[in-house]
Copies of this chain bind each other. A is one copy, B any other.
Amino acid sequence: MGVLRLGHVEIRVPNFDDEVRYYTQTLGLKDMGRQNNRAYFKCFDEYDHHSVVIQQGEQAGLDHAGFKVETPEDLVQFENALESRGIKVLRTSANEEHKQGEGIRFRLPTGQLIELYYYMEQPGREVGHKNPEPWPRHREGISPFRLDHILIGGIDVSEDIDIFRNTLGFAISEEVLGPDNETRIGAFLFRSNTAHDIAFLPYPEDHVFHHMAFWVEDKAEMIDAGDVLGRDNVPIEFGLDRHGITRGLTTYFFDPAGNRNEIFSSTYLAQPDMPLTTWTFDQIAGKGGRSMDRRTGLTESFLQSYTFAF
């Protein structure tokens, strides 16, 4: 029982049609329809109804991140635990969100809206679940397998981390230390066995939604994805590179509204009993050594670019 995974991310976009074209043809998600001025998308290897939602908004940014839990009882338990920390929790009713059961919502100390829900309609994988082919016959654009994680941040993320760890039951796979090489200033947390479902890093302001990341199969698909981005003139911010943290392969790029997307692959299977990996500040600040992003040492500027605000 507890949180299963990052289930869906809902973002705001000013130009709805451009976004639909981008998410279906370039990123290559499956279009799952419209409702309430929103568009719904899923990756080909996902079985829940959707994992990405776009809503019309004045500017780009995160509306909320939804985590799926295993049972309705989990919702009750998490509601109580969050409220006993002094966090205000709101209930959402079934179908208030499209194809979704009832849920709870709360805002993190750094401002982002988090949702928990236990049910979403399951159309299943694109190849079906009876004697299935391994892959769909046609994959469009980048065609990632699944939503993998989000990275959010704010001035002080220590309380965010504590909520996810001690109240929502996540474990820390990797941590980033501050200039004193003792204080944890950022952390990568998981519930499933991916290297992280959510990460928190410090920024000069709150409400930061750095990116949402999608999983692709392997090194070859990371490179193929770059070919798609080049073909469709998508602005690439960074990559193809390998992160130090999580050792994942990464490319960062932007949807037409400016929401940052990442494609991600080649990391490890996380386990709760795994020794914690620690990154010291001198290593991530790109001075005199290897950096968070291993090959290009794009660290400080990278952190400064973490300013895509809510």
A179-221 contacts to B (CB < 8 Å): 192-194, 215, 217-220
Which of B218, B226, B269 is A193 in contact with, Cβ under 8 Å?
B269
Task: Write out, one digit per residue, whether chain A residues 43-60 have a CB within 8 A of any chain B CB (1) or not (0).
Answer: 001010000000000000
- Size category, A interface: 35 or more
Contact status B236-A47, CB under 8 Å: no
A168 within 8 A of B: no
Q: Are A241 and B218 in contact (CB under 8 A)?
A: no
The SS class assigned to the A binding surface is: loop
Pick the contact of A236: B215, B229, B268, B296 (CB < 8 A): B296
Q: What mask results when residues 117 to 138 of chain A are scored 1 for a CB within 8 Å of chain B, else 0?
A: 0000010110001111111011
Say yes or no for A90: interface residue by CB 8 A criterion.
no
* Pairwise interchain contact B194-A223, C-beta atoms closer than 8 A: no
Residue from B192, B224, B242, B296 within 8 A of A269 (CB atoms): B192
Contact stretch, chosen from A13-21, A31-39, A287-295: A287-295
Number of copies: 4
Point out the residue from B5, B193, B230 that lies within 8 Å of A192, measured CB to CB: B193
- What distance in Å separates the Cβ of A297 from its nearest Cβ neighbour in chain B? 8
Chain B residue numbers with a CB within 8 Å of A230 are 133-134, 242, 290, 294-295
Whether B145 lies near A271 (C-beta < 8 A) is no
- Interface residue ranges, A against B (CB under 8 Å): 4-5, 45, 47, 68, 70, 122, 124-125, 129-135, 137-138, 145-146, 192-194, 215, 217-220, 222-224, 226-227, 229-231, 233, 236, 240-242, 244, 247, 249, 266, 268-269, 271-280, 283, 289-290, 294-296
